[in-house]
Chains A and B, each alone.
Chain A
């Protein structure tokens, strides 16, 4: 879709071209949020998100659902180049109103659809000593949650251990995650998304490949 068709002449948004957001914003987002809360409270446990919302390419339904549930004008968003298309920009602007930022460091949320080429984890906001909550959360859309190499997780929310198999991550990923976890309470939190599923990986979790 060309720029001109999604943005009209005055720079506003042509809503006719937009894909719909959540059918029931109040109750759908509540459902989705509870799914996210469960995913983060039980790291490594795949949670199927309700609400079959079809956002613009290349977003999976789960990625779209998380974006629609968590983003608004208070959350600067960084998106990777594959996702950074006029329809997606228009979609996020209309449904979420979130500002898009150029530099990953400035973002409260990072949206990654091409994990192999994503920025290193340290290039996102890590939080400050006195305000570790000022770090970024990453929505990391992966091609599969079951077909990647097995990684064992330990930490809060996990009774013994949990195993995840996200596919399509860059070579450096789990080494970066080790560094991320080592600087706890600073560091980023991750939601892996694929299809309609989400897996939470908070910074408190240690991973062994």
Chain B
């Protein structure tokens, strides 16, 4: 054992700073550097058991734990929202084991850990976004075998994926993939953008912030350096297109964000609101209003006569 390994700063509960031991961090850090050097390639890493279950963000957490320091500010989102249970839980974990300040503001964060979304606010060069990855292998739905997938990546043999997308077009008239929509990184590696909606795919291209991806259960790390070409697969006669909504955000009126559908009653009533909760809140604070923003909502609620408790 070397001297560095013996010394460790103990934080909460006697665990090391940011939970992981220094040897594990070093191993993950080396993998992160490889991942940056080979954009889109899945680097195998000795993933550790985390105190949260596999599938709940352990890969993203290991990446975050390996990069985070005392002068970082962390934002954690799940489905674009800062207040979903899992996001709260992961933020709570790092506040506890790394004693870092946390924030809901994308602009204030130095590290954003995310599940299923890229924030609506632009990110900068001095920020890092860490994606939680349930299934890093974009070819897995077509080929369950790791050995086969690895060969396809090695020889850039992505015909299987092209054929599958083309079959969609033949059958449905469009590519029937709405999230986890595969991308080519730097014209070399086919990559799963994690289950973000394809709406977010274009944000990954030429993105100023470093994008890191951690898959804990599958034990893979990959990365997209800043200003790297990320192209969603498509065909000349069927170009890639993102989702669009006929409505705007009912709360902040945004016209260009990813919207969650919210069911209002059992009569088919619904509205759409920004999935990025912080972005939406900030816009409302700036005075933007949607048709169901607070004042509108009150009027609406009064009209349908079912608003007493919310009003209070």
Contacts and interface: CB of A to CB of B under 8 A. Distances in A.
B52 interface: no
A26 interface: yes
Contact of B38 (A37, A74, A204): A204
Given A37-B67, A41-B210, A96-B4, A25 B22 contact: yes
Contact of A29 (B4, B37, B189): B4
Given A27-B69, A40-B37, A156-B228, A72 B153 contact: no
A84 B273 CA distance: 63
A137 B5 CA distance: 22
Interface residues of B, number: 51
Contact of B4 (A25, A130, A203): A25
A100 interface: no
Given A26-B16, A70-B26, A184 B4 contact: no
Contact of A202 (B37, B125, B189): B37
Contact residues on A (Cβ < 8 Å of other chain), bracket: 35 or more
Interface in A117-175: 129-133, 137, 156-159
A137 B26 contact: no
A25 B135 CA distance: 34
B13 to A, nearest CB: 16
B241 interface: no
B8 A26 contact: yes
Interface in A10-52: 21-22, 24-27, 29-31, 33-34, 36-37, 40-42
Interface string A167-198: 00000000000000000110001000000000
Contact of B41 (A24, A73, A185): A185
Contacts of B70: 27
Interface of B: 1-5, 7-9, 16-17, 22-23, 25-27, 29-39, 41, 43-44, 66-70, 125, 128, 150-151, 153-155, 186, 188-189, 210, 224-229
Interface of A: 21-22, 24-27, 29-31, 33-34, 36-37, 40-42, 68-70, 72-75, 93-97, 129-133, 137, 156-159, 184-185, 189, 202-204
Given A70-B26, A157-B226, A157-B227, 7 more contacts: A30-B67, A31-B69, A70-B33, A73-B2, A94-B3, A156-B186, A204-B225
